[in-house]
């Protein structure tokens, strides 16, 4: 661990660009620590401690840096050193001399529109920091709440009362009309979330009617300023004139799955998707995961450089990408489709990712998309002159592949379902029950007990069936 003198010296030499880099690195280390905490392997504890130490050192460096600026020193006492450093690093007061300018620069002006094909008119990282400030105020317990957290609670009561009285119906309708055919969610949508088709108008109207009658039962999931689940619920809330509720993804789910796989689990496994849609979505998710891994390698290389090693070591230190044939074979086995289908989707992803997204959303068949991409395996343009494309498989072979696909899908549901349950149980076991009981009524406590008991009974029944299949008893 670095000494205070070394940290102060390093902090004094920080540029605003380096401070922005450190703020991003802090939250990435925090997310990795949380992910390690959800694992049961002994190595995860060691990794968690490494990430915790990394967090602490970055926090101390940023805290020292904020001491060099009066405004940042003041903000630190309200929102903490990391967010205060982020605000100081992103806001150039010479370019944003008024509060209104800062408000617009942070993307908080509702009249701003990000036109397609144009540069984003606000600072996305600053917008995410502002969202974190709101979350920090919302999470503070009443007995420790800051002055601004108290204002937040007062305003929340007023907004909820106005919402229940239907006073926001006109605003919701105007925003829905402004959105037109393309929905405007008011925030970026996570690329994996955007792969899945939206409800049709009739189904969305039904959902809006249910929300109008019973309220929004499940909050809309967001993470780092992005919408990760709940697009239909958000649109239905606007149609119903009900203000939506949002929740941070890490508070909804505390299991071992990474974000992209969680989005697939709560969408892909619960919708009636065709094999083309499943194939396209899985290939697109794989591509996104590879992009994120490459981005993380760049960040790690930057950390190595900023530690003063002079140059970034390259070469064989990183594992080589899997061969294309191996990736195709592995994905085909996981999805339960032919390698030819996966090969088509991979080629489309490489040539035109937006075209593959249309397949995932059910707007286009995989074969039709393949015919639009030159050189895609299986396209009609690739068949030699005078010859027909390869004949389709026989009925028995199709039946066998269909059965294999169903079995693989059932296996994925079992794995994902148990991962959800394990994460949820771990999160519930860590709750301070005395605090929960003090905050709820006797009726709520009894309801929760019944839900927990029924869930335990159903899980025991599943365990009994699994053991019976092995010829064992509990």
For 17-60, how does the pLDDT look when each residue is reduced to its tens digit (9 = 90+)? 889 989 988 988 888 888 777 777 778 788 888 888 999 989 99
pLDDT at 394: 44
pTM: 0.44
Segment 369-385 mean pLDDT: 55
Residue 116 has pLDDT above 60, yes or no: yes
Segment 244-266 mean pLDDT: 86
Cα distance between the two ends of the chain: 50
Average pLDDT, the chain: 77
Segment 446-455 mean pLDDT: 81
Residue 320 has pLDDT above 50, yes or no: no
Domain boundaries defined on the chain:
166-252, 253-306+325-380+398-416, 431-474
pLDDT at 313: 44
pLDDT at 314: 43
Nearest of 55, 2, 7 to residue 31 by alpha carbon: 55
Token digits of residue 298: 């760049």
Q: Indicate the angle between helix axes 124-139 and 81-90, nearest 10 degrees.
A: 150
pLDDT at 333: 80
Interval 183-207: pLDDT, tens: 777 788 898 998 888 888 888 888 9
Query: What is the gyration radius of the CA atoms in the chain, in angstroms?
Result: 26
Segment 302-317 mean pLDDT: 50
Residue 387 has pLDDT above 80, yes or no: no
CATH 3.30.365.10, domain 166-252, yes or no: no
Query: Which among 87-91, 168-172, 453-457, 469-473 has the top mean pLDDT?
Result: 87-91
Other Cβ atoms within 10 Å of 396 Cβ, number: 8
Q: Indicate the angle between helix axes 81-90 and 16-37, nearest 10 degrees.
A: 140
Q: How far is residue 272's CA from residue 119's CA, in Å, rounded to a whole number?
A: 36
Segment 118-123 mean pLDDT: 83
Nearest of 237, 203, 204 to residue 220 by alpha carbon: 237
pLDDT at 308: 53
Residue 321 has pLDDT above 50, yes or no: no
Residue 85 has pLDDT above 90, yes or no: yes
């Amino acid at each position: 661990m670095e000494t205070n003198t070394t940290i102060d010296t390093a902090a004094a030499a920080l540029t605003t660009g380096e401070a922005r880099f450190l703020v991003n690195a802090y939250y990435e280390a925090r997310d990795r620590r949380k992910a390690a905490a959800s694992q049961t392997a002994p190595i995860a504890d060691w990794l968690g401690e490494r990430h915790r130490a990394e967090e602490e050192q970055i926090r101390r460096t940023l805290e020292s840096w904020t001491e060099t600026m009066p405004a940042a020193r003041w903000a630190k006492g309200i929102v903490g050193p990391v967010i205060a450093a982020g605000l100081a690093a992103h806001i150039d007061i010479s370019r944003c001399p008024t509060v209104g300018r800062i408000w617009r620069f942070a993307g908080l002006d509702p009249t701003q529109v990000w036109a397609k094909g144009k540069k984003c008119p606000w600072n996305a990282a600053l917008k995410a920091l502002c969202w974190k400030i709101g979350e920090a105020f919302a999470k503070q317990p009443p007995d420790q709440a800051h002055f601004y957290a108290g204002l937040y609670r007062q305003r929340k009561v007023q907004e909820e009362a106005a919402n229940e009285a239907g006073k926001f119906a006109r605003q919701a309708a105007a925003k829905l009309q402004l959105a037109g055919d393309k929905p405007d969610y008011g925030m970026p949508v996570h690329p994996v979330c955007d792969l899945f088709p939206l409800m049709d108008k009739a189904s969305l109207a039904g959902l809006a009617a249910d929300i109008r009658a019973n309220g929004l039962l499940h909050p809309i999931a967001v993470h780092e300023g992005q919408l990760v689940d709940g697009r239909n619920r958000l649109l239905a809330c606007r149609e119903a004139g009900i203000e939506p509720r949002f929740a941070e993804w890490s508070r909804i789910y505390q299991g071992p799955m990474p974000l992209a796989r969680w989005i697939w689990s709560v969408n892909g496994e619960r919708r009636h998707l065709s094999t083309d849609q499943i194939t396209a979505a899985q290939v697109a998710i794989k591509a996104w995961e590879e992009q994120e891994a490459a981005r993380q390698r760049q960040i790690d290389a930057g950390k190595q450089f900023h530690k003063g090693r002079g140059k970034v070591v390259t070469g064989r230190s990183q594992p080589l990408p899997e061969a294309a044939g191996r990736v195709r074979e592995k994905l085909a086995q996981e999805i339960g489709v032919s390698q030819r289908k996966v090969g088509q989707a991979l080629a489309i992803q490489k040539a035109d990712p937006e075209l593959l997204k249309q397949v995932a959303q059910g707007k286009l068949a995989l074969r039709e998309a393949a015919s639009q991409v030159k050189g895609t395996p299986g396209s009609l343009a690739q068949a030699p002159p005078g010859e027909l494309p390869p004949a389709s498989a026989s009925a028995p072979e199709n039946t066998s592949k269909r059965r294999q696909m169903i079995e693989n899908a059932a296996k994925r549901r079992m794995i994902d379902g148990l991962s959800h349950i394990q994460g949820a149980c771990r999160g519930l076991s860590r709750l301070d029950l005395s605090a929960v009981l003090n905050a709820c009524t006797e009726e709520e406590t009894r309801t929760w007990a019944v839900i927990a008991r029924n869930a335990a009974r159903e899980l025991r029944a599943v365990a009994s069936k699994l053991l019976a299949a092995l010829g064992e008893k509990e």
